[in-house]
Structure 1
Amino acid sequence: MPGQLEIIATKKVTATDDLYQLIDFLNRNLKDRDVVFGLSKSDEANKLVVTIYRTE
Structure 2
Amino acid sequence: MENTDMKMKVLSTVTIDRTDDFYKVVDQLNRTLKEKGLTFGFALDAKDSEKIVFTIYEV
TM-score (normalised: structure 1): 0.90
Cα distance in 1 for residues equivalent to 2:49 and 2:7 = 30
Instruction: Note the C-alpha offset of 1:24.
Output: 0.4
- Superposition pairs of residues 2-41 of structure 1, within 5 angstroms: 2-41=5-44
* Unpaired runs of at least 5, structure 2: none
* Structure whose CA Rg is larger: 2
Runs of 4+ in 1 over 4 A off after TM superposition: none
Higher strand residue share: 1
Instruction: Note the C-alpha offset of 1:50.
Output: 0.2
User: Aligned pair count?
Assistant: 54
Q: CA offsets per residue over residues 8-38 of structure 1, 9 Å max, x none?
A: 0000000101101100010001000100001
* Unpaired runs of at least 5, structure 1: none
**In percent, how many aligned pairs have the same letter?**
33
Give the CA RMSD over aligned residues.
0.9
- Please, which of 6, 22, 46 is the counterpart of residue 50 of structure 2? 46
